[in-house]
Amino acid sequence: MKSGVFKIPTNFSARQLVVPGFLLAEGKYEAGPNVYKEGERLYSTVIGLAELRNNTVTVIPLRGCYIPSVGDIVIGKVVDVITTAWMLDIRSPWLGVLFAKEHLSKPLNVMKEDARDYLDVGEMIIAKVISFDRTKNPALTTKEQGLGKIQRGTVIEVDPTRVPRIIGKKGSMISMLKKDSGCQIYVGQNGRIWISGKNREDEALVAGAIKKIEAEAHTTGLTDRIHEYLIKNRM
Amino acid sequence: MTNQIIPAVKRRQIIELAETGKRMDGRSLTDLRKVEIKTNVVEKAEGSATVKFGDTYVIAGVKFEIGEPFPDTPNEGVMSVSAEFVPLASPGFETGPPDENAIELARVVDRGLRESKLLDTSKLCLIPGKKVWIAWVDIFILDHCGNLIDASSLASLCALLTSKLPKAEVVGDEVKVLDEFVPVPLRAIPINVTLAKIGDKLFVDPSLEEEEVMDCRLSVAFALDDQKQEKICAMQKGGVGTLSFEELLRAVEIAKVKSQELRKLLPSGEK
Amino acid sequence: MDKKLITEDGKRLDGRRFDELRPIKFQIGVLKNADGSAYVEWGRTKILVGVFGPRESHPKHLAMPDRCLIRARYHMAPFSVEDRKSPAPSRREIELSKVIREALEPAIFVELFPRTTIDIFAEVLQADGSTRCAAISTAALALADAGVPMRDLVSSVAVAKVDGTLVLDVMDMEDKLGDSDMPLAMMPSRNQITLIQMDGLLTHEEFVKSIELAKKGCMEVYAKQREALDSHFRVAGKEEV
């Protein structure tokens, strides 16, 4: 009688760089994000770092677009206005849609008002994704504490795959950034970050630090280096 | 046409039927449809032919014109093949210049005719470097029911086989076209056969329905060289599916056998 | 023209053996605006590929409800060839654009992005034979750089027959003066052919040998593609815990 489970070991070492089509493993493994399973074989679909978590084979992508998820906070830019809604570029393959009732406290009077009076093309908002499946455009809302039109500050863009590193484990990196810079920092899951500080210099400093994190995301000792960078340049 | 929604139900139907070796129209996987060839159908053209593969209906016309040779082949005549998918042939065809499908078809047919050296362009030179015969081959798709490439290739071929070249007299720097005709100088005869891959099966002479659900297609042209040895002279994979190496070789084998069958149908017993 | 393409000691015009690739150098992530990009110097062929998308389809009526629309444009710069080429798309460029799209599309998970488009733009800056093969191989890298999920990379190379000998990785002179030209593209890990074209005259046996030589060449191109991806994305160490 056999005890335990015999398993063919995976084809990669922890955090190994893999390319699309790389055979990650064979056998009774589960396919995590960016992995597809064909029969008993699991392949990577993107360039990334391969990982085994419990029984699931995952690839952490090094490049990729933002795929919306319900509950995500995103920073969007208005690109089109239709009668009762705004269409937003949220850096995903699909435009986000913000219906008037998800932004305004009272219904829009289409006879007297123009949606542009509230939000015009080019303006930016911080919003939450309230629904998404690939057959429809993601729907957004600003009707929550902390969401709405962005009036001041600096908005920068990073590769969406770097967002987890910018936030850090249990928020460690983002907390350190806020503390060291004295700025408010809102990280959109879609790779847009809103920095609001007392002055432009502080905002620019944070922007520089974030760009540095983006470039060095997969190196060791990063949190400390960023901390030093901020302290040194804040003088 | 390449971006239609694939009817999944129909695809399953075709694949399941193919497991029994049969197709929707009753053919076996390697049967051609009924092929009909008529030549000299347009008297004003120097050569013409209509070809039907089942309901697919194509006409090709040949016109000869005197023009300038290409700079890198000053002593050779020119052959130019173009195709039009006219709107009456299919609800999916629109007016306007040839789209990528029409251009691909024309170029695939052209390569089949050209590489086999069907037309002996070295015999079409009138004044070297200045004046040569240009053979314009124009293909019109009249009814699209699948496998336009084979029908167009065969129509072009038959039009050229039965063409007559005006006799020309060179007097100094002038070329005088006489009211007589000479046979068109021909060498090898290319025959094109297309197969569609659906699932893991290969279908000869795909119908429109089969093309709608296919993974990809492979067109292969065969010709006999000067020593009467059979050679492959052109090939084109089309569509967004893939072929394994084994499927590729199997398809080429089947195509070769079918090309021999089609060769027997040519007008005036040409080989 | 009686130019000898293969000398007595089996060397080609540029000194290569029959089964040798030209030197190939890929660079990845070379453009700022494109979502993904790559550049290649393949012998004297130089091609730049930019990828945009997946992004919303414009105009809307082109969008497909259940999948992504793939568009490819193969275009040659007027100065890329000996005799200046008109910038207007030629019939050859239109056919090659289609053929390149059909070579890459099988590798892309198009069902993941309904109602969107991925645009692949290949600009040939200098042409010296096998430009479609180089464009396809470089586009695969640009797609990976854009993070487009794929089943596999696509690797491509051409085989020609010159002076009776089959040769791998065809340069322009060999294409012009040779007896046959056969570009082939495949998904290397899946062993599936995504492109095959041929023109010329080959016996069945020569055709089978050409296929084998092309497959070997594609696997060598694949190694170069992986090398380029590795060096561009190489990480210094493990991520901080």
> For C162-201, how does the pLDDT look when each residue is reduced to its tens digit (9 = 90+)?
989 999 999 999 998 889 999 999 999 999 999 999 999 9
Nearest to C189 among A15, A21, A221 (CB): A21
- Tally B–C CB contacts below 8 A: 97
B235/C187 CB distance under 8 A: no
Residue with tokens 């907390």: A175
| Residue ranges of domains in chain B | 8-263
Say what the pLDDT of residue A9 is: 83
A21/C153 CB distance under 8 A: yes
C7 lies in some domain: no
Instruction: Give the mutation candidate from A42, A44, A133, A134 for the C interface (greatest C CB count, under 10 A).
Output: A134
Q: How confident is the model at residue C19 (pLDDT cuts 50, 70, 90)?
A: very high
A43/C189 CB distance under 8 A: yes
- Please report, as a single letter, which amino acid is at residue A32: G
Say what the pLDDT of residue B117 is: 84
| Beta bridge mates, A35 | A44
State phi, psi for B160 to the nearest 5 degrees. -70, -40
Give yes or no for residue A113 having a pLDDT over 90.
Answer: no
C15 lies in some domain: no
Task: Please choose, from the candidates B59, B83, B81, the residue with its C-alpha nearest in 3D space to the C-alpha of residue B137.
Answer: B81
Chains in contact with chain C (at least 3 beta-carbon pairs closer than 8 A)? A, B
C19 lies in some domain: no
A and B touch per CB criterion (3+ pairs under 8 A): no
Give yes or no for residue C1 having a pLDDT over 50.
Answer: no
What is the domain range of residue C69?
A: 24-240
Segment among A142-146, A158-162, A212-216, C232-236 with least mean pLDDT: C232-236
- Please report, as a single letter, which amino acid is at residue A146: G
Say what the pLDDT of residue B172 is: 85
Q: How confident is the model at residue A188 (pLDDT cuts 50, 70, 90)?
A: very high
State the smallest CA–CA distance between residue A186 and chain C in angstroms.
22
B104/C106 CB distance under 8 A: no
Say what the pLDDT of residue B133 is: 94
State the total domains in chain C: 1
* Of C159 and B183, more confident: C159
E runs forming strands in A96-201: 96-99, 124-133, 136-141, 148-149, 154-157, 184-187, 192-196
pLDDT in tens, B139-150: 999 999 999 999
A220/C236 CB distance under 8 A: yes
Contact A67, A96 (CB under 8 A): no
pLDDT in tens, B70-104: 988 899 999 999 999 988 888 888 888 899 999 99
Q: How confident is the model at residue C10 (pLDDT cuts 50, 70, 90)?
A: confident
Nearest to B115 among C191, C194, C200 (CB): C200
Residues of chain C neighbouring A64 (CB-CB closer than 8 A): 147
Average pLDDT over all residues of chain A: 91
Q: How confident is the model at residue A5 (pLDDT cuts 50, 70, 90)?
A: low
State the smallest CA–CA distance between residue A46 and chain C in angstroms.
5
What number is the average pLDDT over the span B216-238?
92
Task: Please choose, from the candidates B48, B71, B45, the residue with its C-alpha nearest in 3D space to the C-alpha of residue B132.
Answer: B71
Give yes or no for residue C238 having a pLDDT over 60.
Answer: no
What number is the average pLDDT over the span B196-206?
96
Q: How confident is the model at residue C3 (pLDDT cuts 50, 70, 90)?
A: low
The DSSP H or E segment spanning A163 is helix A163-167
Residues of chain C neighbouring B235 (CB-CB closer than 8 A): 182, 196-199
Distance in angstroms (rounded) separating the CA atoms of residues A164 and B178: 82
What number is the average pLDDT over the span C142-166?
96
What number is the average pLDDT over the span A212-217?
90
Give yes or no for residue B20 having a pLDDT over 50.
Answer: yes
C and B touch per CB criterion (3+ pairs under 8 A): yes
pLDDT in tens, A117-175: 899 999 999 999 999 998 889 999 999 999 999 998 999 999 999 999 999 989 999 99
Residues of chain A neighbouring C237 (CB-CB closer than 8 A): 218-220
Closest-CA residue of B relative to C199 is B234
What number is the average pLDDT over the span B177-198?
91
Residue C234 sits at the chain A interface (C-beta within 8 Å): yes
Nearest to A219 among C116, C233, C237 (CB): C237
State the smallest CA–CA distance between residue C195 and chain B in angstroms.
6
Architecture in CATH of B8-263:
2-Layer Sandwich (3.30)
A and C touch per CB criterion (3+ pairs under 8 A): yes
Say what the pLDDT of residue A124 is: 94
E runs forming strands in C109-191: 116-126, 155-162, 165-168, 180-187
What single-letter DSSP state applies at residue A23?
A: E
Instruction: Give the mutation candidate from C85, C95, C96, C100 for the B interface (greatest B CB count, under 10 A).
Output: C95
Q: How confident is the model at residue C235 (pLDDT cuts 50, 70, 90)?
A: low
For residue B115, give Cα distances in angstroms to B56, B269, C96, C173: 26, 22, 19, 18
Give me the CATH number covering residue C228: 3.30.230.70
Residues 81..120 of C with a Cβ closer than 8 Å to A: which? Answer: 107, 109, 112-116
Instruction: Give the mutation candidate from C75, C199, C209 for the B interface (greatest B CB count, under 10 A).
Output: C199
- Look at residue A18 and give its three-state secondary structure: strand
For residue B222, give Cα distances in angstroms to B47, B111, B263, C143: 23, 11, 10, 37
* Of B8 and C33, more confident: C33
Residue B114 sits at the chain C interface (C-beta within 8 Å): yes
For residue C15, give Cα distances in angstroms to B227, C7, C12, C21: 33, 9, 5, 11
State phi, psi for A156 to the nearest 5 degrees. -120, 165
Residues of chain A neighbouring C53 (CB-CB closer than 8 A): 93
**pTM here?**
0.90
Residue C241 sits at the chain A interface (C-beta within 8 Å): yes
Chains in contact with chain A (at least 3 beta-carbon pairs closer than 8 A)? C
| Beta bridge mates, C25 | C41
Contact B7, B213 (CB under 8 A): yes
- Look at residue A53 and give its three-state secondary structure: strand
Residues of chain C neighbouring A21 (CB-CB closer than 8 A): 107, 150-153, 187-190
A65/C35 CB distance under 8 A: yes
Contact B219, B194 (CB under 8 A): yes
Question: What are the structure tokens assigned to C4, written together?
Answer: 């000898």
Distance in angstroms (rounded) separating the CA atoms of residues B165 and B159: 12
pLDDT in tens, C100-140: 999 999 999 999 999 999 999 999 999 999 999 999 999 99
pLDDT in tens, B38-57: 999 998 899 999 999 999 99
pLDDT in tens, B100-128: 999 999 999 999 998 888 888 888 999 99
Distance in angstroms (rounded) separating the CA atoms of residues C93 and C100: 10
Say what the pLDDT of residue B94 is: 83
A21/C144 CB distance under 8 A: no
Say what the pLDDT of residue A11 is: 87
State the smallest CA–CA distance between residue C237 and chain B in angstroms.
38
Task: Please choose, from the candidates C207, C189, C199, the residue with its C-alpha nearest in 3D space to the C-alpha of residue C132.
Answer: C199
- Look at residue A27 and give its three-state secondary structure: coil
Task: Please choose, from the candidates B255, B249, B196, the residue with its C-alpha nearest in 3D space to the C-alpha of residue B223.
Answer: B255
Average pLDDT over all residues of chain B: 90
State the smallest CA–CA distance between residue C15 and chain A in angstroms.
33
C9 lies in some domain: no
